[in-house]
């Protein structure tokens, strides 16, 4: 499903690209790291996936690459480290822990927040972060605040709205439109965004093409 500019009413850049020429031929797990300073030093470009706990980061990575690569769980808080996957021997996908999982202890939450921020704020190899937003629910404050922080820090990011199979098309469009509307209250221009469903493989070609376009620059 695609949400056009006309439907959302916002001048968001919806990425329309030529047919997919990026193919994932090889996707391998490399390692998990507890902090940025321990991450690979080979200079390969990186694309990170970040979002609220349980939003579907690991599922989206599997949808883009292959089933079973990243660990998926119905219980929030599954991913606890910076997980590196090497794609086609050329670039990394990084699966980050989720933010905002209420049931963790204060100390644990602080540790995860430091890990995520330590990575995002310092990682020179990071070309783009995909911020995943659950499109089946209305905008949440924690997501809006997170996106604001990235904007303030000038970290390049795109939005990936997840779970678009979970409720009706109209509700998805309303939720996306509401999220972009909230962003436009603060920001003069809106980030690129993608509508995805890992269940239905929606958005796969669009995201891979976008990654390729940026990695090629």
Ligand X SMILES: Nc1nc2c(ncn2[C@@H]2O[C@H](COP(=O)(O)OP(=O)(O)OP(=O)(O)O)[C@@H](O)[C@H]2O)c(=O)[nH]1
Residues in the chain: 217
* Angle at CA of residue 70, ends 35 and 198, nearest 5°: 125
Position 204 contacts ligand X (CB under 6 A): no
Residue number, 98 or 191, with CB nearest to ligand X: 98
Among 8, 83, 135, 162, indicate the residue that binds ligand X (CB under 6 A). Answer: 162
Q: Are 29 and 83 in contact (CB under 8 A)?
A: yes
Query: Closest distance between Mg ion and the C-beta of residue 53, in Å?
Result: 8
What are the beta bridge partners of residue 157?
129
Nearest distance, CB of residue 95 and ligand X, angstroms: 7
Q: Note whether 14 and 208 are within 8 A (CB).
A: no
Q: Convert residues 118-157 into a mask of x (bound to ligand X by CB under 6 A) and - (unbound).
A: ----------------------------------------
How many other C-beta atoms can be found within 10 angstroms of the C-beta atom of residue 168?
A: 9
Select 166 or 182, whichever has its Cβ closest to Mg ion. Answer: 166
Closest listed residue to residue 82, CA positions, set 17, 149, 30: 30
Among 45, 77, 181, 192, binds ligand X (CB under 6 A): 77
- 133 and 161 Cβ atoms separated by less than 8 Å: yes
Residues in the interface with ligand X (CB under 6 A) total 23
CB closer to Mg ion, 58 vs 202: 58
Instruction: Return d(Cα 137, Cα 145) in angstroms, integer.
Output: 16
Q: How far is the CB of 201 from ligand X (least distance, A)?
A: 9
Binding mask 44-83 for Mg ion (x = CB under 5 A): -------------xx-------------------xx----
Can you tell me which of 65, 83, 135, 198 binds ligand X, judged by CB under 6 A? 198
Per residue, the 3-state secondary structure of 154-207, as one string, reads CCCEEEEEECCCCCCHHHHHHHHHHHHHHHHHHCCCCCCEEECECCCCECHHHH
Site string for ligand X, 46-75 (x = CB under 6 A): -----x-xxxxxxx------------xxx-
Q: How far is the CB of 55 from Mg ion (least distance, A)?
A: 9
**Given the rule CB under 5 A, which residues bind Mg ion?**
57-58, 78-79
């Amino acid at each position: 499903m695609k949400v056009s500019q006309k439907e959302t009413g916002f001048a968001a850049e919806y990425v329309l690209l030529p047919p997919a020429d990026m193919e994932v031929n090889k996707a391998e797990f490399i390692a998990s790291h507890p902090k940025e300073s321990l991450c690979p030093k080979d200079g390969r470009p990186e694309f990170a996936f970040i979002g609220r706990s349980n939003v579907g980061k690991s599922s989206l990575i599997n949808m883009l690459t292959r089933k079973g690569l990243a660990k998926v769980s119905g219980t929030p808080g599954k991913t606890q480290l910076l997980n590196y996957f090497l794609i086609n021997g050329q670039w990394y996908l990084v699966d980050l822990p989720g933010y905002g999982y209420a049931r963790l202890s204060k100390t644990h939450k602080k540790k995860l927040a430091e890990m995520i921020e330590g990575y995002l704020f310092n990682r020179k190899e990071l070309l783009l972060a995909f911020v995943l937003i659950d499109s089946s629910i209305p905008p949440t404050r924690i997501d809006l605040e997170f996106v604001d922080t990235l904007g303030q820090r000038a970290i390049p990011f795109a939005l990936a709205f997840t779970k678009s199979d979970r409720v009706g098309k109209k509700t998805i469009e309303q939720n996306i439109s509401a999220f972009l509307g909230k962003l436009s209250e603060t920001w003069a221009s809106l980030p690129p965004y993608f509508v995805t469903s890992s269940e239905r493989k929606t958005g796969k070609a669009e995201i891979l093409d976008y990654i390729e376009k940026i990695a090629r620059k």
